[in-house]
Amino acid sequence: MFCTKCGVKLEENTKFCTSCGAPASSPTVSNAGGSAQAQPTGNIQAAQTEITQASRETAAAMSVAPSPPMAQSPGAVAAQPTAAPSAVPAKAAAPTPQPAANPSPLAERVKRLGETLAGKRRVLVWSAGIVVAAVIAFFAYAWLLKSDSEAQLFYVKDNSIFFKSESMKKSVAITKELLDDADSDDFETDFGMPSYVQVNDSRDKLFFLDEIDQEEETGSLFMKELGDVSDKKEDKGTSISSNVSSFKLANDGEVVAYLKGTNDESKLYFNDMKQEVLVDRDVTSYYVSDDGKQLMYVVTDEDHSETLYARPLKEDGTKTKIDSDLHHIVTYTADFSKVYYQKNDDSEDHNAGTLYVKEAGKDKVKLVSGFDSIVSSSSEGSFYYMKQDASMAHLYDFVNDDMLKEDQKTAEPTEPIEPSETSFQRQVAQTGYWGDIYYDTVTDYDAYNEAYDKYRKAYESYSIANDKYNAKVERDQLRDELKAAKLEDTKSSLYLFDGKKEQLIAKDVDHTSLSDVSNGIVVYNKIAASKMKKIAISTIYNTSDVESAYRDQDLSDPKLYISVKGGKEAMFWDKPDYTADVNISEDGTKLYVLESKDGEEAGELKSYTVTASGAQDKKTVAKDVAKYAVSGNNLLFYSNVTDNVGDLNTTIDGTNKKIASDVQVGYTQMLENANTLIYYTDYSEKSMSGSLNLYEGGKSKKLADDVYDYRYVNADLIYYISDYSSRNNYGDLWELRKAKDKKLIDDQVNFFL
């Protein structure tokens, strides 16, 4: 997923952006503030779509998805691609698999199918390097299923949320008026619905906001027992509170925490379905533990200073201050027994960050200090992070003073004196009419003109010499400024904290391309030595010309380096004028690189075996590959792509297989580690619809035409919207059983939840 504030890429289970510190807004509805979301067990971080319209369905589809009963441990709460610092942008990363705590069959299924996407708008996640139009969580179709495998369907039409279980003959409206003053344009996108609708793990309780004030972005919070929903009666459910701007659940749905009021007056409450309890004021973010026993939240004062608190979720609970002057929370365990957070000192220098851990019942412990940014993290206490190594250089060092010798010889010229006409005049005696004597002034113009011609030529020479001297004076001034001006040259060093000690991984790091803290694998590029040609002083006018030339250098070295479990770095890829799209298998044993020549949209997909020594045994997986994704330890990729249409292929257990041709790139759902696929052919960008196909058991079959969006339950049950009108923002909702029995469920449906 991506930070909604600064845009930095975040790993699937990240809680906060480590670049700007903003809370990460997960597209999957978390049933607890810090609860584990159904995650990919492999390296796939977050789906990226290639169409703008994808954002509305992708987030909406996750809105009623319960988290499987898995231990929260945001074990790979990775920050940059993980969330890489803006100065060290990482391209791709691998979230850590989450251990399940007594997993149900559904949880195991989600764990197994975590790499998949639910529905057309949840397009296949690609490795790094495509334009991101939306961010989606990978958790397959688990949101459709209760633990007893009965499908539940949620969708929006007529300004209401509708619900249908598999056993119900028809759907029922749960809300009365979702948005105030709504019109059809309000349903062109999901308008933030994922944050307004949540279900608990057992999927028997639905929490939702109704009567939402679009200007204030608040509404009335209700809880609906889904077991009581009937197509024979309409019941809105239990009213919990009003003026609610956001809410979060414990996994079992027995406790809900929520903010009331606007940003000017944000009061945090919790409700155990018996009473409402005020927790605190001026709360800007909050989190509920998986088990519903603990609440963690941040209070921001008028000076924008943040203080982190924890409080038991019971009426007589007392808040405990964890720390003040918080920069951001990095990660935490499911029960909040351990919280890792960053504080920054007051300096404006680099390396102002300090990482602490606060364990319940113990004093806080400083783990690492003097770092610039966290690259990725694990709730088990391992972190990759960057330190900035700053050095100062005089701008004059980057200048070729090609005029120095000439200027040293240049002296200020003497200006010639202009001849005066009076200097060439004399008085001549004259006799008047009456014999009187007088004197007349006579000018020797021949001599004067000759002297003036000499002066004019001398002045021309002087003017040239004076211009040269003035230029020399300006250059002397520029030399002084260049010698006085200092340029801060910063380089990054990558470190690993393994829970016990700090270890330097590499110096001169440009950015991380992949960071899998769970498997202890990091891939990165380094900064090449400056190859900037010195700038002739005769061609520059001010110090900014030199600084800009230095800053504009592309010092990124195309070589890829890998370090495994803190081991010595090893260079494994070096192709100038190529881009590398890096990904990794779920178990961390295979590394993949799609290498494409700059400016070309396709290239060769390579695989490497990851060992303690690095990436070895390079092999070609396929050629002319435009995009690829990793599902568990298998691959899906598109080849021979033209106009966003190409061949769909898989690599299962090392064997390539072509699935279909003329497949729309990006609209593929992966199930069972790519053994089952749902994909589109004959897709129209104008209607945003196409033919829906299912690949299963080694065979493909068409399911339906003109499909706008869908929800896959299993091979025998699929819901889909067809005949979608982009003008009215709705279409017909169908139920398809056994790929042949088609039944109209509803019409004028806006979108799935």
pLDDT in tens, 644-677: 999 999 999 999 999 999 999 989 999 888 899 9
pLDDT of residue 417: 94
Classify strands 741-749 and 751-752 as parallel, antiparallel or unpaired.
unpaired
pLDDT of residue 175: 85
User: What confidence tier does 106 reach under pLDDT thresholds 50, 70, 90?
Assistant: very low
**Which one is predicted more confidently, 311 or 350?**
311
Average pLDDT of 191-216? 85
pLDDT tops 90 at residue 409: yes
End-to-end CA distance of the chain: 19
d(CA 682, CA 692): 9
pLDDT of residue 111: 25
pLDDT tops 90 at residue 528: no
Average pLDDT of 6-21? 48
751 CA to centre of own chain? 25
Bridge partner residues of 426 (DSSP): 442
pLDDT tops 70 at residue 126: no
Average pLDDT of 679-708? 94
Q: Which residue, 517, 590, 631, is CA-closest to 47?
A: 631
Least confident span in 245-249, 556-560, 636-640 = 556-560
Per the structure block, which two tokens stand in for 352?
């102002």
Q: What is the pLDDT of residues 472-489, one digit of tens each?
A: 999 999 999 999 998 888
> Degrees (nearest 5) of the Cα angle 249, 251, 256?
20
Per the structure block, which two tokens stand in for 358?
């606060």
Average pLDDT of 286-306? 94
Q: Which long-range contacts (C-beta less than 8 Å, at least 24 apart) are formed by 245-248?
A: 245/216, 245/217, 245/218, 246/195, 247/198, 247/207, 247/209, 247/221, 248/30, 248/31, 248/32, 248/33, 248/198, 248/286, 248/287, 248/288
pLDDT tops 70 at residue 47: no
CA distances from 229 to 168, 226, 237, 464 (A): 9, 5, 9, 95
d(CA 307, CA 321): 7
pLDDT tops 70 at residue 84: no
Classify strands 238-249 and 218-225 as parallel, antiparallel or unpaired.
antiparallel
Domain ranges (residues) in the chain: 47-377, 395-489, 577-668, 686-753
pLDDT tops 90 at residue 468: yes
293: Cβ–Cβ under 8 A, 6 or more apart, which residues? Answer: 250, 312, 313, 335
d(CA 526, CA 508): 6
User: What confidence tier does 550 reach under pLDDT thresholds 50, 70, 90?
Assistant: confident
The rounded percent of the chain whose pLDDT value lies above 70 is 78
102: Cβ–Cβ under 8 A, 6 or more apart, which residues? Answer: 69
**H helices within 197-309, ranges in order?**
none
Average pLDDT of 152-168? 89
- Given a contact cutoff of 8 angstroms between Cβ atoms, the answer to whether 530 and 553 are in contact is yes
Domain 47-377 has CATH 2.130.10: yes
Average pLDDT of 15-22? 49
Per the prediction, the chain carries an average pLDDT of 80
Per the structure block, which two tokens stand in for 643?
């106009």
Instruction: Supply the DSSP string of 535-549, one letter for each residue.
Output: EEGGG--SHHHHHHH
